[in-house]
A and B are shown apart, each in its own frame.
Chain A
Amino acid sequence: MRIVSALPETWLVHLIRMAEDDDEMTLVRLAKEEEGVGISTGAHLAGVKSAMLMQNHGFLAAINGIVSCGQLYRIPLLMLISQRGSFGEKDPWQCEGGGVTEHVLEALRIPFDRLEAAEHVGKRIAKAQTLAHSAGRPVALLLCRDLMWDD
């Protein structure tokens, strides 16, 4: 992974710091998540691997880019999406998005898997990336509460 685009949220702060501290990676801090689709598309066309870090509400905000750029042009976007609004959520404003994220992913025919424990992470991300490149399509990994947050 050479380019990671991100828009922070509470769960993602640690991951974004890791990307920032990694000399091998270029972290691109976004104003809005849809920009990350364009950046990852450009990176892919330029022969560079990339990933996108966003909250599920950011994913919802980026949908036209994912469809009209990522899917239309067969770009292997690797989207790491924090799945807010699931069981255990205390913030009322996160709950609507939590309820629709997986349905929207299904409607968009985006293959996805859930990361719920540390032992899932490396293997599932690698597998997702492999599928993204062999299928030439966006894929998603949901970063779930049990992995990301300790109440």
Chain B
Amino acid sequence: MRRLDALQAVYPELERCVVVTIMGAVAAELQSIGHRPNFFYLQHAMGLASSVGLGIALGRPELQVVVFDGDGSLLMNLGGLTTLARYRPRNLVHVVFDNESLLSVGGFPTATSTGSDLAEIARAAGVPHTATVRTLKEFREGFLAAQKRDDLTTLVAKTDAVGPSGYVTDLSLLENRYEFARHLKQRTRGE
């Protein structure tokens, strides 16, 4: 499964959510499908996307938060999984695109290429719902089920180690940040 196809498969479902992505390929690919004001791309601080998602989810429990994480990023903040599980935000869907590679820096293999299992790590950390999916159909079904579940889910999607040709887009970091914060301010409760 290509990550771009996976993003495309759930793109319509992201309209009502609040989306946080990691840097690099995930951010560039989601923008290539179509940027929306409810998307925030954390273009550095590897590992913290899930923590940013937790902060939003705790602060605004009426909104559904989707985090698009990656194997390289999550491996930098495994402890954060225990914090996620501890506070168990029911409005957070944590997706991990696992291509077993630090693709954006030239394709260095991560520990998931030698057997580390992120869904099992999340489960052992206490995340109540976890799964690993390998096909587009499984991914879409798993994502929709997570959205409906009303409980914390970590969904690990095994994807091909391919990405876009470049990572810099014409959306500046601060433009994205202020637009996103303004969007959240305008979203009223229950929306």
Contact = CB atoms under 8 A, between A and B. Distances in A.
B180 A31 contact: no
Contact of B184 (A31, A36, A38, A45): A45
A29 B52 contact: no
Is the interface on chain B under 10, 10 to 19, 20 to 34, or 35 or more residues?
A: 35 or more
B190 interface: no
A13 B80 CA distance: 21
Interface stretch (B41-49, B128-136, B139-147, B154-162): B41-49
A45 B52 contact: yes
Interface stretch (B24-32, B56-64, B106-114, B115-123): B56-64
A39 B84 CA distance: 11
Interface residues of A, number: 31
B104 interface: no
B156 to A, nearest CB: 20
B45 A65 contact: yes
Contact of A45 (B43, B86, B177): B177
Interface of A: 2-3, 26, 28-32, 34-48, 50, 64-65, 68-69, 72-74
Interface of B: 20, 40, 42-45, 47-60, 63, 77, 79-80, 82-83, 86-87, 173-174, 177, 180-181, 184-185
